[in-house]
Every structure is written in C-alpha cells, then in structure tokens.
A and B are shown apart, each in its own frame.
Chain A
C-alpha cells in the first residue's frame, strides 16, 4: 500500500536533474543531466568528449560538492591530470580531498587470454569500490568501446554492459558514458541501445576553412530540451556553450537616457541622447570618424562610472588609445580603473558562430553596461547573408535582453549614391542610425553627420558638419547657402561673407539713425529761428500799433484843440 502511494508521488514529481555547471548546458537541458541515469556522450575523435566529461566531474566536485569517479580506459590517470592542467583544474588536489577518483583500466588484447566463460564482475567491483570510497554521485566511463576491442566475446561484453547500466542506475549515480561516433551511427558498437535515457552528440565541422564545434541533444527522455545544434567553445577554463534562446522579442525596456558624449549630438537626438539598452549603428565610409564617435561614447560611459566593453576587430587597443589622444579623449585612465576593457579579436580566426559564443561569454564575464563593436563589417567577412543577419540578430537580442546599450560601427564600401545601404541590411536592427559622410566640394572633403533614424525620440533632420578637433568631435552649425549645405572652406567663406554683410547692415542702420537725428536737430533749429523771427515781428508790430495809437490820440487831441480855437458854434 505504501509502495503504491510512493509510486504515485514519484509520478507527480518531475525528473530530477543533475546540474553540470558547464556554461550553457544547464540552460539547454533546463536544469542539467538526468539524475541517477546514464547519459551517452558521443562524437568523433577530438570533439571534446573526455574534456566535457571531466568538466562535469570537476564542477560537480567544486561547485556542487558532489564527488565523482572517472573510469578511464584510454588514458592513464597521469595523462589525464596533465591534459587538464592547462584548463586550470588541479586534479591532484581534488583527488587528495577525496572529491575525485581516477581509475585507469588497462585492456590490452595481447595480454589477455580468454579461456572459457567469464563475466565482468571485477569491473563492477572496482567501480563500486571507487564510488563507495568517496561517496561519489557522478561517474564518467571513458570509453567503454575499448572493451569491444579488447575482448573477443562480444556477446559477453554486451550482456555485461546491459548489466552495467542497470547497476549504475541502482547505485543512483549520474553517469556519462563516452563513445566514438561511427560514420552513420551514433556509436560504433551500438551503445545507444543501452544508454538511451539521454544522448548528447558533439561535432566538429570545418566550413570555409573555419572549424566550429557544435553540441546537440539528440534525445532526453522525460524532459524538455533545446534540440538545436549549439556551437560551443573550449575556453581557458572549460567548455562554454551559448544557447541563444531568443524565444520572443520580449525584454524589459527602460526610459532612461544616456549621453553620447557629444553635447550637440545629444541635442540633435531630441535633447537627451540615447535610450539605455538601445542599439546604435554608426555607419560611414572609410575615415569618417566612426571609431572617434565610439570612443566618445566609451569615455562618457566610463565617466558615469559604468563599465564599457570595447571589441576591436581592426586595430589594436594600444593603437586606438594612442589615436584617440589626438582628439582629446584619454582612455588609458579608464582602462586602468577597470571600467573600460578592450578586447581585440582577429576576425579571421573564428567563424561567426564562434565569434558569437566568444563575444557573449566575454560579455557574461565582464558584465558591462555598454558594448561597442568596431567594426562589424570585418567580422562578417566570408559569411553569407543569412549567417550574418542571424549572427547580428542573436547578438543584439541577447544584449538587449541584458539591457546593455550597444554601438556597432559599419564600414560602407560604396559610393555616395548608396550610402544609406548597409551591405548586410543590419540597419533594421538598430534603434538609432547615425550616418557619417564625407562630402567633396571645392577640392576638399568635409565630414557630415546625419541622423537617419532614432526610434522613440525626436531627432534633428538637419545634416551637420563636424570636425575632429583636439578637443574631441565638434559639431558645427548648419550652413545653408544657395546650393544647399556648405561645408569646409566654403562654409568659412560664407560665414565671413555673412559676417561682413551683417556688419554692413549694422552700419547702414546706424547711418540712418544718425540721419534722423540730424534732421531732428535741423528742424528744431528751424523752429527756433521762426519763433525768434515771429517775436521780433510781433514786437515790431506792437510798437507800430503803439505809435499808431499815440498818433491817433494826438490827432484827436489836436482836433479838439483846433475846434476850441476856432470857437466853432457847433
């Protein structure tokens, strides 16, 4: 009765998983390998099976505190130890701490004589002993096929193998069994019949002279798993698989603005700059200043105390630091502070997949707020359109999901008629597209900047000229002449002309003002003169009137006097 209860209980609980600790594998298996079950790891020679198996044990010991046993059929314990020291794993230390046990099993056909019935119980006993000695929960058997080569009786080997896997399950250990792939089959001797709970295949392909390693989960009973081929790298501390699970375009966005490092550019972008987490494409023909803009942005980022990761595919970091000094950007200090990290990668060294894996693993490690890729046109050399587009989409998608602002520069090879076309159609992935152009006029080339698009912000539609001065990039005013925008010396000439014209205008105005003043004064003077005249005349006339009146009164007086004298009767 109790058994039935526990049975239903185990039915409801999900398959327990054993996390590997290997970067990327736990994501694509949604938790790790199936706990307590054997896993088949197959692949051709040199794909990295032994390495992956060893990493599974090492990480189990160091990260998950689970001891592991490595049963090696092909290499001795000493060889294995030596082979993995370059990855920084100290197996001797782990063995001393009883976290790891390596047992080498020699199967030498010439030394063995088969004389009748036998079974491989000794192998079981050895394995069991090792497992019990350190209470191991993880086991690696590398590689069982040696038994097929060493022992004649294939029937016995097969039946013992079947027994081995059942035995491993009963021990409750998670086991990785490595095996070599045949030409058309997963394993040479058909081990996949026995180990069928989980099958992972490793692969190494050479395309266009570049080799890529890939991993595929062929089968995983009882669990969801990513079933694509995932490229992986063997890096200096182990395997790194990068599962680009961009299921949907679903990432959170912020409303925060960050400056581009150039004030007038921020003003052109609606006054504030770029959205944090957006992707910015700076494209232009050779020598237009794309790297300079990127350097400004890097500098601005570090001044804010944020981390910036600068991938360079064309120049060495020292060259960039030196060259940016000439425009007044000093990057050494920020590099020393650890805020700015240059990562120079040779573009032809890896294929696109590897570049992606590498870039993302460096991003994961450094955790930057801003990533600059300069230039991406180099990276995509030798790949076809689909690959390039996929690469860019995955990269940008990943960076956006981490809310990292990205700047990527692209070299346009074209003549000016096609400047708005990026060879790889990448412009649709960018939220902001800044185009740098060199325009030729009057025997010189001047630099112009356009903002072709900026999603989510208002932006200036004016083309502007800019200079690379020793105080950095300086944007100049738009200068429109009769033929359109003027740049370079033409602009200077026009500026001078305009200044002269303004000066002349000013003088004219002043002249006119002086004129008015003069007239006013004149008028005033005239008025005064007339008034004075009037007064004089008025006085004169009054005097005359006086005289007349006096005369009149005198005449009257005379008349009276005469009348009196004449004794007129009247």
Chain B
C-alpha cells in the first residue's frame, strides 16, 4: 500500500496539471451544482494545478461515445492516468476524493 502511495505521489508530482472533464447536459441545476462542487474540491485539494473542461453533451453529443459517458453529470479524470469516472453532482466530497484518488496528493 505504501509503495503504491509513493508511486502515486511520484507520478502525480511529475504531472503538474490535472486534466478534468465535466460532462453535462445543458444548464440544469444538477450540472451547475456539480460545477460548483468541483471547483471547490479542486481549489481545496489541487491548489491551482488543474484544468477543468466542461463539455455540454447537448452541443456535442458525439463526445459521449468516446469517453463512454452514461450519466450526467459525469466527471472524468483524464490525467493523471488511469482514467477515472465519477457520476453524480459531486456533493459527496469523500466519495469524490476516493474516486479521483486525490487523497494521496495531500
């Protein structure tokens, strides 16, 4: 466990910027909430070393296929590898952290 943690620290230390993609379907209350939650978590845990891209599937429906998006809102961590998917409005911070594997950075 520790070794993996070290490796993660090492790899995430290498990668400066986290690439996060938030898939939404229009400006619904859920998507707005998710965005707000995401921003908060990133501010709290990533200290600016992140990039959030919001993709509106209504505008670009074909992008859902590429990342295998099923639900909205969905947060996809593109970098660092491996790709992780988190669905929901991200109100459960604990689960978001687990899902993004953000704990080790702390």
Contact = CB atoms under 8 A, between A and B. Distances in A.
Interface in B13-42: 23, 25, 30, 34, 37
A119 B86 contact: no
Contacts of B3: none
A122 B71 contact: yes
A126 interface: yes
Contact of B90 (A116, A122, A123, A125): A116
A228 B56 CA distance: 49
A125 B86 contact: no
Interface stretch (B4-12, B46-54, B95-103): B95-103
A111 B84 CA distance: 6
A478 interface: no
Contacts of A119: 30, 71-72
B15 to A, nearest CB: 20
A105 interface: yes
Contacts of A107: 70
Interface residues of A, number: 22
A106 interface: yes
Given A103-B65, A125-B57, A129-B61, A116 B88 contact: yes
B84 A113 contact: yes
A114 B95 CA distance: 7
B57 A122 contact: yes
Contact of A122 (B34, B74, B98): B74
A118 B71 contact: yes
B66 to A, nearest CB: 11
B41 to A, nearest CB: 10
B72 A121 contact: yes
B58 to A, nearest CB: 7
Contacts of B74: 118, 122
Nearest to B86: A113
Nearest to B57: A125
A255 interface: no
B22 to A, nearest CB: 12
Interface string B66-106: 00111111100000000011111111100110110000000
B86 A115 contact: yes
Contact of B91 (A112, A117, A128, A129): A117
A128 B60 CA distance: 12
B60 to A, nearest CB: 9
B99 A122 contact: no
Contacts of B65: 103, 126, 129
Interface in A79-103: 103
Contacts of A126: 61, 64-65, 69
B99 to A, nearest CB: 3
Contact of A113 (B23, B37, B91, B95): B95
A503 interface: no
Given A105-B70, A113-B99, A122 B64 contact: yes
- Chain A interface main SS type: mixed
Nearest to A156: B71
Contacts of A111: 84-85
B20 to A, nearest CB: 14
A118 B96 contact: no
B64 A125 contact: yes
A176 B58 CA distance: 25
A120 interface: yes
Given A125-B64, A128-B61, A112 B25 contact: no
A122 B84 contact: no
Contact of B70 (A115, A122, A128): A122
A77 to B, nearest CB: 11
B87 A121 contact: no
Contacts of A113: 84-88, 95-96, 98-99
A105 B69 CA distance: 8
B96 A115 contact: yes
Nearest to B74: A122
B70 A117 contact: no
Contacts of B92: 115-116
A106 B67 CA distance: 10
A151 B88 CA distance: 11
B57 A115 contact: no
Interface centre among A112, A114, A122, A125 (most CB of B within 10 A): A122
Contacts of B57: 121-122, 125
Contact of B87 (A106, A114, A125, A129): A114
Contacts of A112: 85-87
A116 B31 CA distance: 12
Interface centre among B61, B65, B84, B87 (most CB of A within 10 A): B87
Contacts of B72: 118-122
A438 B77 CA distance: 87
A170 to B, nearest CB: 17
A120 B70 contact: yes
Interface centre among A116, A126, A129 (most CB of B within 10 A): A116
Contacts of A121: 25, 57, 71-72
A122 B88 contact: no
B82 to A, nearest CB: 9
B89 A118 contact: yes
Nearest to A153: B88
B88 A125 contact: no
A113 B72 CA distance: 13
A494 B85 CA distance: 101
Interface of B: 23, 25, 30, 34, 37, 57-58, 61-62, 64-65, 68-74, 84-92, 95-96, 98-99
26 contacts: A105-B68, A105-B70, A115-B86, A115-B88, A116-B89, A116-B90, A116-B91, A116-B92, A117-B30, A117-B88, A118-B74, A120-B70, A120-B71, A121-B57, A121-B71, A122-B25, A122-B64, A123-B70, A125-B25, A125-B57, A125-B58, A125-B61, A126-B69, A129-B61, A129-B64, A151-B71
Q: List 6 tightest A-B contacts by C-beta distance, closest first.
A: A113-B99, A116-B88, A129-B61, A116-B91, A115-B88, A116-B89
Given A111-B84, A114-B87, A120-B72, 5 more contacts: A115-B96, A118-B30, A118-B73, A120-B71, A129-B64
